[in-house]
Amino acid sequence: MFSLLMLYGVIYTTATSAGIITSALPSLIALLAWLWLRERLSRHAIVAVVFAAVGIAVLNLQDADLSGKSNVLGNLLVLGAVLAEALFAVFSRRLSLTVHPWSMAFGVNIVGFFLFAPLAVVQAMNFAWAGPGWELWGWVVFYSLTASVLSFLLWYRGVSQVPANIAGLFTGLMPLSAALVGFLVLGELLSFGHLVGMGMVIMAILLGAKRPG
């Protein structure tokens, strides 16, 4: 669900906006970890959730102002992807206490294969395989190895060592890299409104990371 919602979401919104929305992930993981894993949710974490929500609201208003129309659909799809990722993080924390990271990574990819195979076969019969160049296929392989294998292995190994709400804080690095790629590589506009939204969600990350004295 994370991959589907994210890939469809970026069709209707910008990479910069999608990156900023993913900043809400650490706070959402902390909230779900408190609800399901009974991990302690401090006052800083509660304020962090509020900051993340305000940042996303500012982002949506900024998108509407820049384009003359709202990118709410794309932003909502990306937000759905973030929710799916948060659920994944919390469940993987519980599994990591009894299942080896290699086994979990293998299982995730096997289940994903059977879930997507029926849809993939239908599209494969009408797909122009000779159309994409070697560069595009190279990026597909790179995406598969990093997003579907390496990221799972590293995440499962890490989350087995620390609580879910601590591991979730490191997901806050995603929006920074996504925003920079959108600005530097794709030439997307990084406006003052985007900076305000980014500042709000970064503040959420900092508050969530702060431990009571």
* pLDDT tens, position by position, 54-104: 776 676 666 555 555 557 888 889 889 989 988 888 888 878 778 888 888
Q: Determine the pLDDT at residue 62.
A: 64
**Quick one: pLDDT at residue 80?**
92
CA distances for 55 relative to 9, 61, 83, angstroms: 18, 10, 16
The pLDDT, as a whole number, for residue 162 is: 75
Q: pLDDT tens for residues 100-123?
A: 888 888 888 898 889 888 988 888
Tokens for 136, please give them. 């595009």
In this predicted model, what pLDDT tens digit does every residue of 118-152 receive, in sequence order?
988 888 888 888 888 888 899 889 988 888 788 88
Predicted local distance difference test score (pLDDT) of residue 77 = 92
Question: What would the pLDDT profile of 15-33 be if each residue is shown by its tens digit?
Answer: 767 777 777 777 788 788 8
Measured distance CA(204)–CA(159) in Å, rounded:
21
